Structures are given as structure tokens and as C-alpha cells.
Structure 1
Amino acid sequence: MTATITFNQLRKIKDSLPDGSIHAIADELNLDVETVRNYFCGADYDRGKTVGLHIEPGPDGGVVELDDTTILEMAQDILSGKKKVHV
């Protein structure tokens, strides 16, 4: 499933996650931690992989088109309390 979100909204979700969330998402999806950070518009491609996001310039940091919403949905579940993070 694809999604469109602003850059600033995506970063706000990442910044709102409790400590350990990025690691928990990475562990559950069997991904490198840097790959999950790259999903939230990080840029460590030496250790992490690209994750199918496309950024277009514009207001509110621009528009981000996500090719796969799995990580976003997991982050939203953590923030809503549907999913617990164990660190």
C-alpha cells in the first residue's frame, strides 16, 4: 500500500516515538536500524538501505510518497498504544 505524507509530518511521527521504537520496528521486520531511520527521511545509506520513498519539494518540508506503509503503520500503532515497545 502506498501513502502520501508531508516531510514534516513523517519527521514528527519519528520524533514522537518512544525510545527503542526504531529498534523494535527494525527487529520485528528483520531490517537494519538505519534502514528504518532512512524510512523517516534519514540518509545513512552506508549502513542502511533505501526504503521506497520519494520526496517532492513543497510546503511543510515537501511531500513524501511512500511505496510501502508497513513501517509507518507500525509507528502509528506504537503512538496510539495498539503496539507496545519492549526495550
Structure 2
Amino acid sequence: MSTTTITFNQLRKIKDSLPDGSIHTIAEELNLDVETVRNYFGGANYDRGKSVGIHLEQGPDGGIVELDDTTILEMAREILKGKKPQVQS
């Protein structure tokens, strides 16, 4: 587990580039609610999903997002590379 900083627009671009069903795949692999994974990518459904350690700061390009845990981001990037996501232990 590591932290990283990314712009909000970059994070949304990754989410929007994922093939259909990827959010569900990531949620299933990590045993998370689908809304929790959506919240990671900038969603705000806290009735069904949880906060997942993202911190937003206003700024250019949608602002800066600091991610406390990059597991979901890394899995999304693996999916975009055409690989099956691997859960890190």
C-alpha cells in the first residue's frame, strides 16, 4: 500500500477509460461495495459506499487528489493494460 498524488481529471479519465464491468470486477476482487470503488474515482454515494482515503484539494485540472491507498488505481491501470487485476497481499 502506498500513497500517490494525481489530478482529479486524470483520475476521472482512468475511470472513464475502463471497459464496462471493470468497477464491478475491482469491487469483487477487493471485496468492496461497488459504490465504494466509484467513490474512489470521485463519486459521492456515501449512503451505499464508503469513503476510501481520497483527499481533494482545489486547483487546476480539476484539483489535486491524494490517494492514501493506490490498490484500486493500480488495478484499474492493469485492466487498461489488458491484464487481469491482481490483488496485492
TM over 0.5: yes
Per-residue displacement from partner, 1:6-58 (whole Å, max 9, x unpaired)? 00000000000000000000000000000000000100000000000000000
Q: Count residues in correspondence.
A: 84
Structure 2: gaps (5+ residues):
none
Identity, in percent, stands at 82
Look up the match of 2:81. Answer: 80
What's the C-alpha RMSD, in Å, of the aligned pairs? Answer: 0.8
TM-score normalised by structure 2 residue count:
0.93
Give 4+ residue runs of structure 1 displaced > 4 Å after superposition: none
Letter in 2 for 1:38: N
Unaligned 5+ segments in structure 1 are none
Q: State the AA in 1 paired with 2:40.
A: Y
User: Could you tell me how far apart the structure 2 residues matched to 1:19 and 1:82 are?
Assistant: 15
Whose helix fraction is larger, Structure 1's or Structure 2's?
1
SS at match of 2:77: helix
The amino acid across from 2:50 in the alignment is K
Query: C-alpha separation between the residues in 2 aligned to 1:81 and 1:19?
Result: 13
TM-score scaled by structure 1? 0.95
